[in-house]
Every structure is written in structure tokens, then in C-alpha cells.
Amino acid sequence: MTQLINKAKQRLPEAQVTVATRMGLSGVMAREVQREVLWWAYPRVLAARSRTARLWRGLGIGWTSAGYAALLPVEVPRAGRGMVTAIIDYSVVSPGTERARYLRLPNASFGLGMPGYSASGRVLEIGPGVTSIAVGDQVALAGASHATVASVPERHAYRLPRCLSLEQAALIRLGVISAHGVSCAAAEPGQSVCVIGAGLIGALAQRIALAQGLDARTMIARTRVNATVGEVGGVDRFLAIDESSDVVDRVEADIVIDATGDPSSVGLAIAAVRTGGRVVVLGSPRGATGAFALGEVQAKRLEIVGAHIEGLTVETERTGVDAERGLGEAFLRSVSEGSVPAGDLLGDPLDPEECAAFYRALANHSAPSRAYFDWTAIDSERRIGSGRMLRLPSLRAAGMDFQRRPLRPRKEFDDIIAGLDLDRPFREASGMLRIGLLGCGDIAGNNAAAAVIAPNTTLTACFDPVRRLAQDIAGRFDIDAARSADELFYRDDIDAVMIAVPHHLHAELAIGALASGKHVIVEKPLAHTLADALAIRDEAVRTGGVASVCFPYRYTPKVQIARRLADLGVLGTPSGAHLRVLTDQPPAYWVGGYSGRSPSTWRASREKAGGGVLIMNSTHYLDLLRYVAGMEFDEVWALADTLDAPVDVEDAITVSFRATNGAIGSMVGCSAIRGAINEELRIWGRDGHVAIEPDPRVYTLRSIVGLHTARWQTFGGGGALRGGANVRATYLSRFATAVDRGMSPDVSIDDAVAVQAFVEAAYRSSEEQCGIRPGELLKEVHA
Amino acid sequence: MITATVTDADVGFEFVLDEGDVAFVDADWLPALGRASVRALTVGLAETGDDRHPIEVARAKLAAAASSVVAYVLEQNKESDVASIHVPGRGAFATEVRSRLGVGETPSIGPSATPLVWVETSGDAAALHTALAGVADLGTVVLAAPARQPTIEIDLYRDIHHRGLCLHAVDLTVSEAASDAPAIPDPVPVASGQTVPMHWWYYLSA
């Protein structure tokens, strides 16, 4: 029977996931549903045991599945017989134990994924039979997890002695563990004690031992990083193993307390203890000790003593005396009286909203070795409330999967959006820029409309060598159809020329316009080659004209919000990006563009267009990578080919790149995908992820007002990025304002050159089959 | 170098000793089955002098070590019944320890209880793991035989830390004078290449 039950227990979690998957949930959602069900059932079982039918609700830290952490709703039973419920102000991280559990290291129980066991707060209610605690008391709570609310047995709740801060009281359980280690040493006053490990448990054990009259002034640690902890604790001999391991043999302590939790450090302890001495294994060793020096243990006639806090429970059962309670009370008293200094051991307060980032850092040994969660940072409404016993568990797993059931941000997020003033794109418009349109092909209609919409631009004239195209635009927008490009360059009623012609003509015309004293806006890309792009830039510098490339996607609301999110720190340090541009250009595209208004074969010519899907369709997005995440491209590797259309530009390309900050990204583009899908643009960093295409989504481990942490959520409007008239109008208006105020435009000529350098580096990489650095390419071409 | 070959019924020895030396092997120092090198208590001419038989010297040494073990066990176990002390083993040393403690070969605390103290007299890694698994939480395993290997694999968390166990290596090199009269029976004499029936301990001489 027991075997059957054990087998069922083993198989139940997997069965739950299987059922959830069959319900249509993705794997990560299924695991979240499993956690939700367990967390739903657990407080109800506890409530039944406590004979109470009511629950509190609050927030708590949960490990949602292997390797993930989040701040989640929790429920705890209201105080039943002998129980005390408290609202938690602080809970201390036990780094070794929590890291081991979080990583599911050997000998570390994951349990229900509710970390933490040492906290402090104020009593909300007491159950029948509770005599030592009253409502409103400040209490230390042993066994309370990292959450805003906890119910614990009365024996685990300690009313605070006078002069003890709630922050220090939150060390209670760690204090009991450490004191238990010292008691297992069974030392006589004056005996020498050496503690290995300068973490929280090690430091507390050393200080408790010293306070008990033991000669506990030697500490061994891997490095000298925590030497100050030793100094504060009265250590006068701090030995760092990374400096010299030989000194350990000369310690010869009567008792060595190993507080590291490192299975291999027991060897150090055996070396450091004198013959006939005692080694206390206080830190929980995670994993097997491959070569336990039994021979040396015998040669030195040692005692090796295990000191796990569970031992106190066994001892209590055997003796009838609550040993744990006694150690807890003594610890709090010692801290309040100052004989065990603890203020420096608390470390930094952590925002519980950022628990996911913290546990990742803890796993990587990059988190502070001492830290505590400050629950007072959570607003009171979310911190505590009445739970509903009859609530059903939520099986939605909202926010767990990028594609399914993202959450909506909280309403505070609206304030962030409102601050962007997206409804008033022309709010800062000034001046009046008179624009001449050079090129009246496919995109000319959009450009002309944008110039009309923008409040500080006006359209004066247009030119196209195909006369009917120029007359068409002129007629639609009631402007002059000029007879030559030169006419646009030399007219006094034109301040800027907007160039939208085949790519190979950009440089000649832009330079001509700049040389004539006009400002220049070039439809992307800046040119068909990097050399031409640099020639335009040089001419702009020489003439003082303002030049820019039309990258209007920057002004799409979702891009503006994404940029704001990046500025708020949702990404942390950017570490990667992915861009996908998959289209299906019909054969007609190569001879007449999208509209067919202007038949031409320049798009199919490498010499004229500069390239295919990369330079033609992807430069907007490359600009967004730079604009949103500040990525500067350091190195590019590419494969490009023409696989489908009878053209000499590439219709398939993949690019891998590294940014100057070390981020690694990729781009795949193809213009011959049958049943083309769409674009994808996503940027991620150490702390978060922003997807702009196809659907705007954000996921962050950082505490950002209005955003849920560690959950996918929507932002901004949907729909693909397109250069419609409104964003083009915003672009033109911002350009005009920059010209008016003598400022650099939002899209500077250097921005345009940077994108051009990426494009050229990718093409050269594909040809030469090696990595190309855009920065070096720029120098080479410019030379 | 002493090699023993153990079968279900008997044990054979092969050995070469220095001139004048004799050696004693406790039954618990033998492998459970098969052939292996074994450690031995060697008694040299200098220890016997003119008037002491090597068996007397060896017996006294074993008794002294047993006395040391018993002294430790009783000191650490003042408040508990000796019935909670388990000294498994078929050899002379384990027998002597049991005799001094007044306990039987199997603990008398009942089948459902686990001993608080487990005296390990073989030095064998597997026997040590058995002891760690068999002793009660917060109990003590007394290492009362030199380990056959200088290091062993152990799960410190599971085997010692979590259960609050104490692993204690007693001093087995105490002088004979500390011992009182031993009750250890005579060993079985055996020559190299000879096979003898199972016994408490063996007296190896050229």
C-alpha cells in the first residue's frame, strides 16, 4: 500500500502536467496551473487542520517551476487553535539554503516552492489557546515564508524584547540554527572555536559562540570578501583560503564549526581541528562528499557532529523540553542586549517585486550574501486582505506564455503611457519647413500626405523624370510639378528636399541638394552603398545642412512605449535581439513595386538597389534595435543568397551580430516565403524582454510601476509597424522642428550611416565568409 | 602482507611475517566473502620479552582498546539504557566490547526501535554506511576499528548533518595498562596456506 502511495506521489506531478497540456495549455502554463492547484489546496488543508474556515490573502514569493521565481498571490489560514497570524514586515534570505532549493541541488527540498523561514512583523490575530502573544505585538516568526502574511504556531512566534528592531528580529530562525550549531559543539568555556564560512550562519554562529564565553576568534573563508563581518564579530584571525590554504593546518582549534554547506569543506574542518577535537557540520552540505577523510578522522580521534535544526524537534520529542524555543528566546535577548551584534548582517533590503531577479543573481553567486525582503514596500491593499475559502483555483496561467493569455498592465501603467503624450505627436512642433518632393513613385503619396498633415511642414513642389507621376502627385496635393531636380534645388520657396528615388541615385541627388543649401530627407536606406552614404554625410557636414533618413517607425506608439520601457529598465543590460522579416514579393514587385504605378527594374538590380530583403525591407527594424535598446553593432556574420526570384539581389539572408556591449542577436530575412507570415522584432536583456512585433509584449523581472513582474503583458496598440501617413508626418514634423531650433534631428545622419554600415558588413560577410566589423568597415570605406 | 580468502564455511590465510613477529586478525577485519588483503595486529619480539606469550600481548591490546570504546560509550550515554547500544560483529573485539558493556549481539530494545549508539568494529566502508543508516536520529556511531580505506564516499547531509548524528573515532592505541582482565578466548592458530574454520580471531605465525 505504501509503495502504491509513493508511486502515486511520484507520478502525480507529471500526470497533472499531462492533463493541463491536454487542456490546451503550453508546458510552462501547465506547470503554473500545477503550482496554483497546490497553492490553492495547501492553505485549505492547513485551515482544516486548524479548524478554521477562513483565509487571509496576501502576496508571497513562489518558485513557479524549476528556475523561475515570482511574487504571487498567497493564502494562509486565519489563526486557528494555538496559532498566530501576523502581517510580515521583513523576511531574511537564508542564502545557502534558498540557493540550494531554488537550484534543486542534491539534499535540498523544493517543497511547494515557497522559500523563506525567518521573518518579523505584527500580530493580526491569535487563535484560541494562545497566551504569550497579543494582537498588535511585534513578533519574530520562525518558519514564516517570504510573504506578506503568515500563520505560525505560537511556539514559533516570539514577542520582541525591548530595543530590538523588527529588521534584526527577522533573523530569528537563522539565529536558532546558528545557536543550535554552537550547542552541538558542546564546548567548555574558554575552548577555542574556529568557524568556517563567513556567511550569515557562520557569522551568527561565531558571534553566539563568543557571547557564550568561547574563544571564537578564528574564522576561515574562501575569500577575504566578508572579512569585515569577522571584524565586527570580534574575529582577530581571518584566514582566506584563496590566499593560503596551508595556514588551516596550524589553526588547531578545539572545535571547528563548518557553516559553509559545501560538502568539500569538511576536509578543511578536519585539517583545522586539533587531535581529539570536534567538528560540527552546521551548514547543510549539498551533495556527496567524494573523499571523506575517514582515516584522518581516526588518526586525529575526532568527533564529527551533524547540526541540523530538525534535530531540535527530535530532542524536544525525547526530552519534552522545547529546545528550539529556548534557543530562539536567548538569541533575541542576546541581539537586543548587543552581546550578539546583528545589525550588519541584515544586508540590503530587497523589493519583493524583484524576487525573480534576485534569485537568478543568488544562483549565479552575484547576489549580495546578506539580504532581506522588505514587505513594507508593498502597498497595503495588495499586502493583506480576506481570502475566500470557496474560491476555485485559477487555471488560466495568465501571463506565463508569450503567445497565450498575456496579462494587461495595472492601471498605474496608464500614467506612463500618458506621460508619452502619444495623442499629441505635434506638441513640440515649431517653424515651417517648405519641402520639395524628389521622386514621385510608390512612396511619394505617403510622403506628400505626411508633409501636408504635419503642422510645421508644407509641400511646395515635386519632381520625377516620369512626368505623369510628378503631375499625379502635384494634382493630388495642389503643388507645382517642377521640370527638373535642379529646379527643386534652387527654388527659394523650398527649404528641404525629400528624396524617394531608386537607391543608386540617392547620393548624387542628396549631395546636389545639400550643395544647393537645402536640407535633405532621404527615404530609407541612406544610399545603396556605404561609400555613397558617407559621401552624403560628409557633404552635410561640409555644408551645414541637416540630413536624415526617413525611419518613421520610431514614432509608432508601440515603439515609443517600448523605448520608454527600455529607459525604465525593464530589460536591464540588453543581451540579445531577434529580427525576422519574412515576405513573399510577387513577381510583379520586381518590375513595378507594390503599386505598379512606376514600372522599373531597379529593385532587382544589386548595382542599383544595393541589395534585396536586407537593405530594402529590414533597415527600419535595424534602426529600431539601435533606437529602442541602444545597440551598436560590433561584428556581423551573414549568409545571403538568391534562391527564388530571377533577380540579382538576395532574397534570403541570415545575419548574426554582436553588439558592442556583448549582446548577441540574429536577423533572418526572406522575400520569397510562400504564404508569408510577418515581421518579428524582440529585444531582451538580463532582466527582461520586449517584443514589438508581431504583438507588443513585455516581461520584466524589475519592479516597474504598473507592470507585473515575471509575467507577459501587453502594451501599446497592436498591428504591424507600417509607415503610414501619421508616423511619417510625425517624423517630418520632428525634422522640421529640429531644423527650426538648430538641433540634430531625431534620426541623425550618423544613425543612418550606422544602419548602412551594418547592411554593408552583412553583405561583405556573406561574400567573404568571415565576420565583418561595421566600425572597421566605416574606417576602411571612409579612407 | 596478509591475504585472507573467506568462504561460507572457512577462511584461509597467506602471509609473510618478519622474523620473530606474529600477527592476529579479528574475524570482523576479514572480507565478507572472497579474497582480500587484511590488516592485522602485529606483535613483535620487543613486546613479548622473555616471559609473555604473544597471545597475551594481543589480548591485552584488544582489551585496552575495548576498554577505551566502552569508557567513551558509557560517558556519552549516561542517561540512556545500555540496551540502546548496538555492537554488531562476530569477532573477538566486538565480543569483548559487548561483554564489557553487558549487551547482547542484537540490541534488546525491540524490533521497532533503533539504537542510539552503534559501535562499528570492522573498519569496512559498507559496515559504516550500515551503521549510519541503522542508528537513531541524534545517535552516535563509534568508529572502533581502523578504516580499511583512508577515504570513503559519504553523503554528509543525509548520513550525518540532517539526522544530527555524531561520528566518533575513539583512541584505539591506549596502553595495555588501562585494561582490566580481558575475557577474550584464545585465537585459532593458523599457518600461511592453511584453511581453518570460522572463529573469533586468528593467530598467524610462521
Question: Nearest CB to B147: which of A184, A281, A295?
Answer: A295
Q: Which chain A residue has its CA at the smallest distance from B128's CA?
A: A294
Show the cell assigned to A266.
569538511
Determine the pLDDT at residue A619.
97
Distances (CA, A) of A356 to A352, A367, A401: 9, 12, 16
Question: How many whole angstroms separate alpha carbon A356 and alpha carbon A689?
Answer: 14
Confidence of residue A718 (pLDDT cuts 50, 70, 90): low
Q: What is the pLDDT of residue A660?
A: 96
Over range A738-762, report the average pLDDT: 98
Q: What is the mean pLDDT of residues A336-365?
A: 94
Q: 3-class DSSP state for residue A538?
A: helix
Would you tell me which residues 164-193 of chain B have a C-beta closer than 8 angstroms to some C-beta of chain A?
164-171
Residue B57 C-alpha cell reads as: 600481548
Would you list the DSSP string of chain B? -EEEEE-SSEEEEEE---TT-EEEEEGGGS-SSEEEE---EEE-HHHHTTT--HHHHHHHHHHHHHHHHHHHHHHHTTTS-GGGEE---SSHHHHHHHHHHT--SS-SS-TT---SEEEE-S--HHHHHHHHHHSPTT-EEEE-S--SSS-EEE-IIIIIITTT-EEEE------GGG-----PPPPEEE-TT-EEE--SEEEE--
Contact A310 B143 (CB under 8 A): no
Residue A698 has pLDDT above 70, yes or no: yes
Pick the closest to residue A653 from A693, A613, A608, A619 (CA basis): A613
As a whole number of angstroms, the distance between CA A172 and CA A164 comes to 12
Nearest CA-CA distance, residue A107 and chain B, Å = 7
Which three cell numbers, joined as nine digits, stand for A388? Answer: 475566500
d(CA B193, CA B205): 11
Per CB-CB distance under 8 Å, the chain A contacts of B157 are 106-107, 263, 284-287
Residues of chain A in Cβ contact (below 8 Å) with chain B:
106-107, 184, 263, 266, 276, 281, 284-298, 300-308, 310-311, 314-315, 318
pLDDT band at B44 (very low <50, low <70, confident <90, very high): confident
Residue A2: its pLDDT value, please? 64
The answer to whether the beta carbons of residues A195 and A218 sit under 8 Å apart is yes
For the stretch A419-468, pLDDT in tens is 998 889 999 999 999 999 999 998 999 999 999 999 999 999 999 999 99
pLDDT digits (tens, 9 = 90+) for A115-159: 999 999 999 999 999 999 999 999 999 999 999 999 999 999 999
SS3 string, A83-131, reads EEEEEEEEEECCHHHHHHHHCCCCCCCCCCCCCCCEEEEEEEEECCCCC
Q: Across-strand partners of A438?
A: A463, A499
Q: Which three cell numbers stand for residue A22?
A: 491536454
Which residue in the set B155, B156, B164 is minimally distant from A311, CB to CB? Answer: B164
Q: What is the pLDDT of residues A155-192, one digit of tens each?
A: 999 999 988 999 999 999 999 999 999 999 999 999 99
Residue B119 contacts A, CB cutoff 8 Å: no
pLDDT digits (tens, 9 = 90+) for A596-620: 787 888 999 999 999 999 999 999 9
Is the model's pLDDT at A692 over the cut of 80?
yes
Lowest average pLDDT, out of A490-494, B101-105, B167-171, goes to B101-105
Q: How confident is the model at residue B43 (pLDDT cuts 50, 70, 90)?
A: confident
Tell me: pLDDT of A226 over 60.
Answer: yes
Per-residue model confidence as pLDDT tens digits over A78-122: 999 999 999 999 999 999 899 989 998 888 887 888 999 999 999
Q: A with B: how many residue pairs have Cβ under 8 Å apart?
A: 111
Residues 6+ apart with CB under 8 A from B65: B93, B144, B170, B172, B173, B174
Phi, psi of B145 (to 5 degrees): -155, 140
The answer, yes or no, to whether residue A1 has pLDDT greater than 70, is no
Q: What is the mean pLDDT of chain A?
A: 92
Residue A23 has pLDDT above 90, yes or no: no
Instruction: Give the model's pLDDT for residue B179.
Output: 54
Q: pLDDT class for B109, splitting at 50, 70, 90?
A: low
Q: Residue B127: pLDDT above 70?
A: yes
Confidence label for A725 from pLDDT (cuts 50, 70 and 90): low
Cell numbers found for residue A247: 595556514
From the candidates B156, B159, B167, B168, which should be mutated to test the interface with A, based on the most A CB atoms within 10 A? B156
Determine the angle formed by the axes of helices A172-185 and A323-337, rounding to 10 degrees: 110
Q: Quick check: A724 pLDDT over 60?
A: no
What is the rounded average pLDDT of the residues B153-163?
90
Question: Over 60: is that where the pLDDT of A641 sits?
Answer: yes
Which cell numbers hold the place of B32?
A: 565478507
- Tell me the per-residue pLDDT of B12-21, one tens digit each, with 9 for 90 and over: 999 998 888 8
**What's residue A277's pLDDT?**
96
pLDDT in tens, A285-319: 887 777 889 999 999 999 999 999 999 998 888 88
* Nearest residue of chain A to residue B69 (CA atoms): A301
In the predicted model, what is the mean pLDDT of residues A557-564? 94
Dihedrals phi, psi of A327, to nearest 5 degrees: -65, -40
d(CA A524, CA A752): 8
Q: Please return the burial class of A727, using the count of CB atoms within 10 Å of its CB with bins 0-12, 13-18 and 19+.
A: buried
Does pLDDT of A17 surpass 80?
no
CB atoms near residue A366 (< 10 Å): 8
**Of residues A716 and A722, which shows the higher confidence score?**
A716
Residue A338: phi and psi, rounded to 5, are 90, 0
Chain A touched by B146 (CB under 8 Å): yes
For the cut 90, the answer to whether the pLDDT of residue A361 exceeds it is yes
pLDDT category of residue A67 using cuts at 50, 70 and 90: confident
In this structure, what are the phi and psi dihedrals at residue A430, rounded to the nearest 5 degrees?
Answer: -145, 160
Q: What percent of chain A has pLDDT over 90?
A: 78
For residue A719, what pLDDT band results from cuts at 50, 70 and 90?
A: low
CA angle at residue A584 from A582 to A586, to 5 degrees?
160
> Higher confidence at residue B111 or residue A370?
A370
Mark residue B148 as left, alpha or beta (left: phi above 0; alpha: psi -120 to 50; beta: remaining). Answer: alpha
**Mean pLDDT score, A195-214:** 96
Check residues A634 and A64 and name the one with the higher pLDDT.
A634
Tell me whether residues B138 and A286 touch, CB distance under 8 A: no
Name the pLDDT band for A403 (thresholds 50, 70, 90). confident
CA distance B67 to B101: 9
Amino acid occupying residue A525: P
The pLDDT confidence band at residue A28, using thresholds 50, 70 and 90, is confident
For the entire predicted model, the pTM comes to 0.86
Q: Contacts of residue B137 in chain A, CB cutoff 8 Å?
A: 310-311, 314
With cut-offs at 50, 70 and 90, classify the pLDDT of residue B111.
low
Query: Given this model, what pLDDT does residue A118 score?
Result: 97
Of the pLDDT bands very low, low, confident and very high (cuts 50, 70, 90), residue A723 is: very low
Q: What residues of chain A lie within 8 A of the CB of B143, using their CB?
A: 294, 297-298
CB A498 within 8 A of CB A436: yes
CA atoms within 13 A on the CB side of A442: 15
For chain A, say whether B81 makes contact (Cβ under 8 Å).
no
Segment A578-598 mean pLDDT: 86
Q: Residues of B with CB below 8 A from A266's CB? A: 156
